[in-house]
Chain A
Amino acid sequence: MTGAPLVQQPSGARAWLLSPEPASRWQARLGRFYLGWRAFSKNPLAVLGLGVVLLLILVAIFADLIAPYSPIIGGNLRTERLLPPSAAHWFGTDDLARDIFSRVVYGSRTTLWVVMLVAIIATPIGLAMGTVAGYLGGWVDTVLMRITDIFLAFPRLILALAFVAALGPGIDNAIIAIAITSWPPYARIARAETLTIRNSDFIAAVKLQGASTPRIILGHVVPLCLSSLIVRVTLDMAGIILTAAGLGFLGLGAQPPMPEWGAMVATGRNYLIDQWWVAAMPGAAIFVVSLGFNLLGDGLRDVLDPKAAK
């Protein structure tokens, strides 16, 4: 069999990565990863998104080093309350004379924590529900998908509100509430993907080798659903941050004095006309990070899920 002739060939480390005959599992995997990275890095917006997300992570890790003031203990209430942005207080101060920049920096921890936990809880639930329903079909599918439909029927914020009302306010309960309300779309996506692959020959082939159902789902179905799911979760992150902020804004998320962007916007609401920076600075942070996740998600989609990208 002749391939079409290759006109131009790479050299050096790239050649090693792109070798059509990798010599080890690692080389094959790295080569695949490198190809993905090449496609990803061609998209400047996606790289910008990745930059924002990395920045969020770094800021959260080094919050102690970055923040010039304590996020909780304010300054002199008489002289340092509601100061506009200046060299001493980059983002100004709030009604309790706390440095807003420091609070935004520490707030990134809360945001990251929310995003991470929701991803860790909701993705596996959605993945498990969707692949099991799609693969097994029949009554299992009907039951699991009806449950999913019930969750899907409620607007996310309302359902989260109901959960928080039942569990009591607090950041951890808010996370659980958000996680419980975010998995249904993931289950739908995973099921749809599973339906298109469950009758394929390569699944029949591994059945013929005597593989058990869990083995087939975990080893053969899940890897194929994962990429579209990662894309979707990343794109959803913006919504999750907004929901968390919304809960904070309503006083049902993070409790004072914990720095949380949504709650900070809520406090700023009272001073919106004269001291705009109190609400605007955390608001901008929410905006930038949401946008960052969205751009990253779009870029990942081009790489991982080229079909959906069109």
Chain B
Amino acid sequence: MTEPMLDIQNLSVVFGTGRLRVDAVKDVSFHVEPGASFGLVGESGSGKSTVLRAVCGLAPISGGRVMVNGQAVKSPRDKSFYRTAQMVFQDPYASLHPRHTVDRTLSEPLAIHGEKNAEARILEALREVGLGPSFRFRYPHQLSGGQRQRIAIARALILRPKILLLDEPTSALDASVQAEVLNLLDELRVRLGLTYVLVSHDLAVVAHLCDRLLVMRQGEAVEETTAAALRSGQAANEYTRALIQASQGFARDGVEPVLV
């Protein structure tokens, strides 16, 4: 068996103290093979984003072990970590600096890591996400939501990481743009041999992009299952079944949901 790219064992994250204490993540374990794509789904507030943030060092790890590319993560994370793992945030409107052009946004990681030939790398990064060089000197307010999310993906990919952590990358986008971004992510994974961890509340999106997934609820892992099982509607856990049921659409009491 190959060594997993991301291996999380008994991860716990605690925020706050006293009355405000919350166990955001309790004893969660999963692992992702290189080149695979893993989904995290579950209730709102169940700690999905927190798992990703804990991996990146944006949330404190209170217990358990996180191994990235065979090495336990250090706190604070070192520069080589950031070359291995990168994250794409949920809200494309909030994740780009409003006063920086696309060029500045993309050159920042290169400057931090002292990379050479920034010029060529930026143009290549833009091309990879399907944007032409004409986008290079635009400000975020000159971009649509989908274009912003592409820039955010380009920024995450420019250091050539091995793992991409995607926090609801399409939930702020409309159906047609979501399709474009999903196709892009699909293609990039194959072409660049990336490993994905994808958080989404849309089961169809997770099933489209991932092979295996973990269902979370109230900070705990409920069930690990596969996209195939999801498609055929099989689930051992009651909550997972409720999720599948709910994703069929809104059902008024006694009325079957209209399947779309």
Q: Give chain A's interface residues, CB within 8 Å of chain B.
A: 1, 3, 20-25, 27-28, 32, 200-202, 204-211, 215, 219-220, 223-224
Contact = CB atoms under 8 A, between A and B. Distances in A.
A67 B95 CA distance: 56
Contact of B94 (A20, A22, A202, A210): A202
Listed from nearest, the 9 A-B pairs whose CB atoms lie closest are A201-B95, A21-B134, A28-B137, A209-B109, A210-B82, A22-B137, A1-B144, A201-B94, A201-B89
Interface string B124-160: 0000000000110111001011110000100100010
A206 B82 CA distance: 10
A25 B155 CA distance: 18
Nearest to A220: B97
B29 interface: no
B138 A208 contact: no
Given A204-B58, A219-B108, A209 B94 contact: no
A206 B95 CA distance: 9
Given A3-B144, A23-B137, A28 B96 contact: no
A207 B58 contact: yes
A144 to B, nearest CB: 23
Interface string B75-92: 001110110001101110
B138 A205 contact: no
Nearest to B53: A204
Given A1-B144, A200-B94, A209 B112 contact: yes
B177 A224 contact: no
Which of A1, A24, A200, A219 is packed against the most chain B CB atoms within 10 Å?
Answer: A1
A3 to B, nearest CB: 7
Interface string B91-117: 100111111110100001100110000
A208 B59 CA distance: 12
Interface in B49-67: 56-58
Secondary structure at the A interface, as helix, strand, loop or mixed, is helix
Nearest to B97: A202
Contacts of B97: 202, 206, 220
A85 B89 CA distance: 70
A202 B95 CA distance: 4
Contacts of B159: 209
14 contacts: A25-B103, A28-B137, A202-B96, A202-B98, A204-B58, A205-B95, A205-B155, A206-B97, A208-B87, A209-B109, A210-B77, A210-B113, A215-B112, A224-B98
Contacts of B86: 208-209
Nearest to B81: A210
Contacts of B134: 21, 23
Nearest to B146: A1
Nearest to A203: B97
Which of B79, B174, B177 is packed against the most chain A CB atoms within 10 Å?
Answer: B79
Contacts of B112: 209-211, 215
Contacts of A24: 137
B137 A209 contact: no
